[in-house]
Amino acid sequence: MEKTFFRPESLYDVPTHYCPGCGHGTAHRLVAQVVDELGIREKTVGIAPVGCAVVAYDYWNFDCSEAPHGRALAVATAIKRVHPQNIVFTYQGDGDLAAIGTNETIHAANRGENLSVIFINNTVYGMTGGQMAPTTLLGQKTSTSIEGRVKEKHGYPLKISEMLAILPGVAYVERVSLHSPQEVLKAKRAIKQAFENQINNLGFSLVEVLSPCPTYWGQSPKESLDWIRDVMQKEFPLGRIK
């Protein structure tokens, strides 16, 4: 029988450290599959984030760097400018990209840096124990919004993708989700598009990935997927934004 599903060459054959039901494993694989399919493994440079995916380079089989919390797009900007022939991407969570690194995010996008950004949005700080993120939904309980996020105290969920889409330097923004097999396939297409844009010198591309965090949502893995479908995507609608 023909084998139709493989471990990508860009993904090491090792178990990951993520919690049951976490979206990082799936997102890592999607990136690896895309890198393989585009035949760019030997010229790809990934920037691993600070946060749960900090050791992404233990799973990805290509050159990688890390960056201080929030600074991935400054690091990526320099690597891409020094080696324009390399394919450079950052993989960042919502705390990283939308809180401490907002400045770097906006300015790299506004310069139109020819980079691909994978933005994992799970509405909490996972690594540090489930605190409120800029993307935390109104009413969502976290360890620093015990009664749920309230707009009077904490402001509104930050819609980074919509914000970036208005910048002329930004070529492509799409929001995808990992809550069902169909959505995972769409996520993969979007990630591929972001890499293809870079190969074609089109400028800044960002894919926002709604990703489950069962541990800090206090839900089972299945409930987490349903919560993305029923609640989270109402605040963060899926589809191409630019």
Partner 1 sequence: MVKAKILLSGNEAIAQGALQAGCNFYAGYPITPQNEIIAYMAKCMPACRTGREQSKGVFIQAESELAAINMVYGACAAGARSMTSSSSPGISLMQEGISYIAGSQLPAVIVNIMRGGPGLGNIAPAQSDYFQATRGGGHGDYHLIVLAPSCVQEAYDLTKISFELADKYRIPIMILGDGILGQMMEPVHLSKKKNKVNTFKNWALTGCKGRKPNIVKSFFLREGALEEFNLKLQANYEQIRKKEARYEGIFLSDAKVILVAYGTMARIAKGAVIQLRNQGKKIGLIRPITLWPFPQVPFSIKNKKVKFLVVEMSYGQMLEDVKLAVCCRQKVDFLGRSGGGVPSEEEIINKVNKILLQ
Phi, psi of 5, deg, nearest 5 = -130, 120
Query: Is the torsion defined by CA of 49, 86, 23, 162 positive or negative?
Result: positive
Which pair of tokens denotes residue 115? 């980079």
Q: Can you tell me the distance from the alpha carbon of 121 to that of 201, in angstroms, rounded to the nearest whole number?
A: 26
The tokens describing 101, both together, are 């690194």
| Residue placing its CB nearer to partner 1 in the complex, 126 or 212 | 126
Query: Which residues here bind partner 1, judged by CB under 8 A?
Result: 41-45, 48, 54-55, 57, 60-68, 71, 74-79, 81-87, 103-104, 107, 114, 201
- To partner 1, the closest distance from the beta carbon of 86 in angstroms equals 5
* Closest separation in Å from C-beta 143 to partner 1: 23
| CB nearer partner 1, residue 39 or residue 181 | 39
Q: Least distance in Å: CB of 147 to partner 1? A: 33
Q: Tokens 């990209």 identify what position?
A: 97
- Residue 165's SS3 state is helix
Number of H helices, E strands in the chain: 10, 9
Question: Which residues on neighbouring strands pair with residue 56, listed in sequence order?
Answer: none
Query: How far apart are CB 227 and partner 1 at their closest, in Å?
Result: 30
**CB nearer to partner 1: pick between 26 and 61:** 61
Q: Which is nearer to partner 1, 41 or 229 (CB)?
A: 41
Q: Which helix (H) or strand (E) holds 67?
A: none
Q: How far apart are CB 98 and partner 1 at their closest, in Å?
A: 16
Nearer to partner 1, 110 or 233 (CB): 110
